[in-house]
């Protein structure tokens, strides 16, 4: 993910998987906000535009990481699991890097909701998403 001090160690050590495949770089994570970038190159649809699914992956990744930080504040075994994602594609990008910023709308005991805005290199918003995550404890789910 990132060696950045703005990313809590417990979240920086998560397995990369899809995050790595998409080229997502996590810049900052807290329970209130998460910021990350993703290259357009390699994440396009057949017409050379940023793929809407790639934008959705970026939005869910950043929102989920912020929700994980929220879950860990009250429970060292806390996890966040995305349960609903809605995204509106407002424009697109053909080149460069896009930046996603997830901001907490609600941080509750069992649910957290984040607004995620994705912008291109000029700062123009190209997508707006809302992610809801269920907050759980891995100690309660182990059997």
Q: Two tokens at 50?
A: 């940023």
Q: Which of 25, 28, 60, 73 is catalytic?
A: 60
CA distance 29 to 35: 7
On whether the CB atoms of residues 54 and 87 are closer than 8 A, the answer is no
Q: Which residues contact 4 (CB under 8 A, 6 or more apart)?
A: 12, 26, 27, 28
Q: Is 60 a catalytic residue?
A: yes
Cβ neighbours around 14 below 10 Å, total = 14
Q: Which residues are catalytic?
A: 60
């Amino acid at each position: 993910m990132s060696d950045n001090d703005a990313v809590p160690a417990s979240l920086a050590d998560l397995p990369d998987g899809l995050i790595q495949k998409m080229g997502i770089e996590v810049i900052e994570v807290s329970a209130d906000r998460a910021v990350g970038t993703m290259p357009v190159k390699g994440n396009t649809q057949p017409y050379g535009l940023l793929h809407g699914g790639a934008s959705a992956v970026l939005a869910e990744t950043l929102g989920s990481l912020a929700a994980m930080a929220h879950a860990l504040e009250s429970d060292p075994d806390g996890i966040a699991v995305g349960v609903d994602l809605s995204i509106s594609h407002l424009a697109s990008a053909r080149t460069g890097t896009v930046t996603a910023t997830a901001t907490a709308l609600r941080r509750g005991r069992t649910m957290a909701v984040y607004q995620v805005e994705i912008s291109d290199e000029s700062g123009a918003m190209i997508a707006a998403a809302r992610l809801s995550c269920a907050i759980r404890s891995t100690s309660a789910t182990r059997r």
